[in-house]
Structure 1
Amino acid sequence: MHQIKKNKSYKSLIEILLVSTRLGLTSFGGPIAHLGYFHEEYVRRRKWIDEKNYADLVALCQFLPGPASSQVGIGIGVMRAGVLGGITSFIGFTLPSVIFLILFAVLLHGLDLGETGWIHGLKIVAVAVVAQAILGMGKNLTPDLKRKAIALFAMVGTLLWQDAFFQVGVILISALLGFFLYKQHSEREQPKMDFPISRGCAVFCLTVFLGLLILLPILKELTDLHWIAMFDSFYRSGSLVFGGGHVVLPLLEREFVPTGWLDKESFLAGYGATQAVPGPLFTFAAYLGTVMNGWQGGLLATIAIFLPAFLLIVGALPFWDTLRRDPKLKGALMGVNAAVVGLLISAFYQPIWTSSILSSLDFAFAAILFSMLVYWKLPPWVIVITGAIGGTLMSLI
């Protein structure tokens, strides 16, 4: 019996690794687009998590600092196979872009990837993927006029004031609106989210997160070790970022350019390359670490910037499931989920639409990709390959 359980566990881990690696190789377009890819793969195709629980997980990750899409992936991995599942999901989704960026820093420094046709094609793929996610989540999470109004408020607010902390404020206001509007709302009992993590383990993770945040700057001052200073800078950046990968750019620039660890041209070249690879934008740290200290520095920087996100999501999950099932908080969560739809629409316009749809030809190609995904039900990797080829051909016209 024990052997059967062990084999099942290994099988789950291998399955998580294969699926997350494929997502890591094909998920272009930034954090909001990643949520669209996850929704298609984990909710619609594999049914590893239902629509409601996925929305709740996304809502939690919007509250936490760090890369929201990576935390959603880790959370789904944890649901499937515990902490090891979360680690496996993280490795699969993150490692492809880490390898690309380390190789770029070592071998291809100075190559301009930002304006190539296939990159533009992949940006148009992100338009189709996010549009599909908005349709699916909007239908389920904003079924009545009150929630549609909350989504509209979130969309308009974040379009007019594009600030990460304002985004957190919008989510908090939406939670408050939901709490008062849906106090008397009766809904069928939500299915329990199965997170095989004890509260003791969760408390340990949260303690380690806070401990490192306090201890690393002290160690940095007490020692002259370059590795500790570097780990501290990346860990602090990963701990203090709300709003995803684009927001981490100014933080990292302040940490490393004025101090002379690398020049501004190298910094911007790496940021351009990061836009050209799939997976989370936080893997920009792999490029920076490699430029500063070789491939070992790249791996250290990657671990340091993602470690806070991992500790926070594993630490929050066991408590989150209890809180979200509390009748008093269900209304607040309904408001937050409606706000998430508004945030998706806002991000769909800026930066995804504005940086991708530059002509009527781009719009026509986006419509074709959207139809392939939504109506013909083709898998996302087919859409990605079609987007890359189409973008290359359009650049020749």
Structure 2
Amino acid sequence: MVATEWYLGFTSFGGPAVHFQIFYKMFVQDLKWIEEQTYQEMFALCQALPGPGSTKMIYAINIIRSGFTVGILSFFLWSLPGAIAAYGLAVGISRIRETLPSPVYALLSGLNSATVGIIALAAVQLSNKAITDKLARIMVFFGGTAGMLYNALWYYPVLMVVGGITTIAWDLHWIPHNMHTFKRVFFRRPEQNPNVEEGSSEPTELSDMAAKDATATATPTTTTQRQAGTVTQANIASGTPETTAAPLTSPAEARSTAGGRVFSWKLGLSIILLFLGTFTTIMVLRGTLTRPPFAFQLFANLYLAGTIIFGGGPVVIPLLREYVVSETWVSPRDFLLGLAIIQAFPGPNFNFAVYLGALATHGAGHAAALGAFLGYLAIFAPGIALHSGTMGLWGLLRKHRAVAAALRGINATAVGLIYAAVYRLWQQGFLSPDFRNGASLGVDPWWLVAAATSFVGCKSFAVPPPVAIVLGGAMGMVWYGVVAS
């Protein structure tokens, strides 16, 4: 395993969309470590649970093939290179003076503009996957608009719970009978326009979600017909969503899922209960201690963020901003600077928590290495624990409509929060000697041009995100040259 995967943590740029393509080609097509059906089911599980999607996928693949110890080793090989780089970046940023030269501010504003464009593209792409009917569209809209209107540490978790309860009530027909007319009028299936999303409100099994969630959202390609239970290699490799959602497994195959071959349901349930116990204890202490140690406050906030992040790397941005920057542990300038640079790092985007943790503890007078460790542990542990436990319960959970219904509502609401993140980053993306903590990028239309350039370049011309970030920095320097002259 080490000889095969050691380099992935150093060379996998581009975020989860590209990571899933790399894993499919490497582990399914080339090495044939797992079957395609197993890959599909694990992809559905990674998308349905909180935490870093691509990290959970490589962890699950290695557990299925070689066991728990190898799975944990693969997790460290995959995540540590980017985490170490994030820690090094934090050490460097902590030594930067409070006031920077004007060209540097222009460079940073260009980087931030390009970052806003990339995150906006991620929001659109994830929306295309999350919106399976008009109710899901409403949940995305709800998450985005509600997230823009108010900020609080408790607010985002409440929004996602509301989203999950709403889809459960709708999919399981808990809505009163007098709502049926409304449903028939506004959620009926279009009769003549095949390009409009399906209006079906019938819930699907968790395993069916993989067909609609196909790994990335790269440029659209023509989808070919498939047999029931099989996603074509072209669609997984290109990351193009399927137009239909046939079940991935037959009833006979459903009795032998990938997760069941790794953990028993008893062990899986024990892992989940242990996690819930630790989570509850930490949250209770977080709310009751009057003067908790700073290290505990930081760990508790990042642990909460790691538990409620559905949708992967893009969703982590608004949560970390609220749970770290709003607490005044990290300045908006350092947050935006790190966010722009880390977009060009390999490996999981969740390593951003390592950067923020190191800066936070350094600013509080503690060792930066302590914050980096706490950030790494807090942001990754919840997702890995829940994924491990659910692999054992997968054969049981996939049969319950309420589980699929809740997760699709939570996921759609979390995607909406990315739009709120785009708005908030836009409002603080411009940096200058007069606005060291950030101002709106709308002060000059040039920054909108820079954001649009990264959006269009990545979406339509397959420009890698690191290249788009560098181009944004160059456009910032062009702006400075024109303004200075």
TM-score, length of structure 2 as denominator length = 0.58
Q: What are the within-5 Å matches in structure 2 for residues 245-284 of structure 1?
A: 245-249=320-324, 272-277=333-338, 278-279=341-342, 280-284=352-356
1:189 aligned partner: 247
RMSD: 4.0
Give the AA of the match of 2:303.
Answer: S
Q: What does residue range 1-397 of structure 1 map to in structure 2 within 5 Å? A: 9-19=1-11, 23=13, 37-43=14-20, 47=24, 57=46, 60-61=49-50, 71-72=52-53, 74-81=55-62, 82-105=71-94, 107-110=95-98, 112=100, 116-183=105-172, 184-186=202-204, 187=208, 188-189=246-247, 198=263, 200=267, 203=270, 207=274, 231-232=295-296, 234-241=298-305, 244-249=319-324, 272-277=333-338, 278-279=341-342, 280-290=352-362, 297-321=367-391, 322=394, 325-328=398-401, 329-352=403-426, 355=429, 357-358=441-442, 359-397=444-482
Letter in 1 for 2:458: L
1:304-338 CA-partner distances (Å, limit 9, x unpaired): 23323333222110333527523322122222232
Kept after mapping to 2: 8 A contact 1:369/1:387: yes
Q: Whole-Å Cα distance in 1 between the matches of residues 413 and 467 of structure 2?
A: 31
Alpha-carbon deviations, 1:110-147, whole Å to 9, x = none?
46489612211111222222232233222222132222
Judged with a 3 Å threshold, the aligned counterparts in structure 2 of structure 1 residues 44 and 211 are, in CA distance, closer, same or farther, namely closer
Would you say the 8 A contact 2:302–2:320 is kept in 1? Answer: no
**Structure 2 regions of 5+ residues with no counterpart?**
28-38, 63-70, 173-201, 209-245, 250-256, 286-291, 309-317, 343-351, 431-440
Per-residue deviation, residues 249-289 of structure 1 (Å, max 9, x unmatched):
36865xxxxxxxxxxxxx666x6334312331552332344
How many Å separate the matches in 1 of 2:467 and 2:203? 42
1:132–1:370 CA contact under 8 A, matched in 2 = yes
Q: Identity over the aligned pairs, expressed in percent?
A: 12
| Aligned partners of 1:239 and 1:309 also within 8 Å | yes
Shift of 1:158: 1.7
Q: C-alpha separation between the residues in 2 aligned to 1:125 and 1:72? A: 23
Q: Rg: which structure is higher?
A: 2
In 1, Cα distance between the equivalents of 2:369 and 2:260? 28
- Shift of residue 170 of structure 1? 1.7
CA–CA distance in 1 between the matches of 2:41 and 2:446? 36
- The number of residues matched between the two structures is 339
Instruction: Rate the CA distance shift 1:370–1:231 in 2: closer, same or farther, 3 A.
Output: closer
Report the residue type matching 2:149 in the other structure: L
Compared CA separation, residues 57 and 167, structure 1 to 2 (3 A): farther
Q: Look up the match of 1:64.
A: none
Structure 1 gap segments, 5+ residues each: 1-8, 24-36, 62-67, 219-227, 254-266
Q: Encode CA deviations 1:146-184: one digit per residue, 9 max, x unaligned.
A: 221222222222222233422212211211222232234
TM-score normalised to structure 1 length: 0.70
Residue pair 1:131, 1:348 contacting (<8 A) in 2 also: yes
The answer to which structure has the higher helix fraction is 1
